[in-house]
Amino acid sequence: MRRSDHKVIFESDAFKDWKKARESQGTMFLAICERLDNIVRAIGNLGKALAARRSRLF
């Protein structure tokens, strides 16, 4: 393909829509990962709190 053909493809509305969709998917994936990270962190904190409570009881 010639350079001008590439330029036409990358400047097309279809490519811009595809690019927006890919960015949106990346944003959603990042949000899911951040939520899962918060859940893992909360479970770790819960484990620490339960261990500290258990050591105070015995």
36 pLDDT above the threshold of 80:
yes
55 pLDDT above the threshold of 90:
no
Region 1-28: what's the mean pLDDT? 93
Q: Distance between CA 32 and CA 21 in Å, rounded?
A: 17
12 secondary structure, DSSP code: S
Task: Please compute Rg for the chain using Cα positions.
Answer: 24
1 secondary structure, DSSP code: -
Helix intervals (H) in the chain: 3-10, 13-57
Q: What is the pTM of this model?
A: 0.66
3 pLDDT above the threshold of 90:
no
